[in-house]
Amino acid sequence: MKGNIHLLKLIFLFLIIFYSGDEVQSQTKDPDEILTKVKEAFKIVNDYEVDIHIKVDVNFLKVPDSNAKLYFKQPDKIYIESEKFVLLPKQGLNFSPLALLNEKYTALYDREDTIRGVQTCVVKVIPIGNTSDVILSTLWIDQSRDLIIKIESSRKPLGTFSIDFTYEKYNDEYEMPSTMIFTFTIDRMRIPRGMNGQLDVEEEADSEKSGPREGKVYITYSNYKVNQNLSDELFESTEMDGKK
């Protein structure tokens, strides 16, 4: 009987050590290594051209659904072409891991997390220096594909935003975003009044009463043309507003 109790203690101790060892092992996942893999995976695609469909769902902003053509070239060149006016989220549109990660930063491994049934590891990135208005970014990385499937950022002074990506394999080779959902919160909307005056004075009072404003922008990507050797001249056009 004494021998059985002693064996149980050993097994129990072993299990504790084993699982503790696992935790110690996971706590020591290298965030820089994870991010480097993401950067490398991103570099496979040199350029692409894609059709995008944009739907804006913001409580203070009413915009009709629109279509455009998006051109991208490494590391962060973007050009948008559209017959009609198009409103696109700045942060999500030209989001490039390279742009985020080429600046100086400190990365911290946070935890494992499951999003939309996908196992991810969560890495926090803190930019160093005053060059960026981003205070903190949290990245959910699908390590099986080295893809960022969610990012959450806090910016000063405008508030937080998050972007959710889904990907599809293109040509059995490239994992390309198929949808992007940009979610943001803005505490105060400083829209000038001067344009139209007031339709109804009560409108002004109502608008001031409402709380923080939030919304979503949905972008759907289709008809990718990847690595077509797009020329740099295309990205020099001044038509697109807000280009970096």
> Which residues would be at the binding site for other proteins (CB under 8 A)?
60-64, 68, 80, 82-91, 93-94, 158, 161, 184, 186, 189-199, 201, 203-204, 206-208, 210, 239-243
Q: From the CB of 154, what's the least distance to other proteins, in Å?
A: 14
Q: From the CB of 219, what's the least distance to other proteins, in Å?
A: 12
Q: From the CB of 164, what's the least distance to other proteins, in Å?
A: 17
Q: d(Cα 164, Cα 183) in Å, to the nearest integer?
A: 8
Q: Is the dihedral of CA 164, 171, 77, 234 positive or negative?
A: negative
Q: From the CB of 239, what's the least distance to other proteins, in Å?
A: 8
Q: Which residues in 103-142 are b (16+ Cβ under 10 Å) and which e?
A: eebebebeeeeeeeebebbbbbbebeeeebebeebbbbbb
The residue (of 23 and 239) whose beta carbon lies closer to other proteins is 239
Nearest 5 degrees, angle CA 97-CA 111-CA 184?
A: 50
The residue (of 2 and 62) whose beta carbon lies closer to other proteins is 62
The residue (of 144 and 196) whose beta carbon lies closer to other proteins is 196
- How deeply is 210 buried, as exposed, middle or buried, from its count of CB atoms within 10 A (0-12, 13-18, 19+)? exposed
The residue (of 5 and 199) whose beta carbon lies closer to other proteins is 199
The residue (of 63 and 136) whose beta carbon lies closer to other proteins is 63
Q: From the CB of 240, what's the least distance to other proteins, in Å?
A: 5
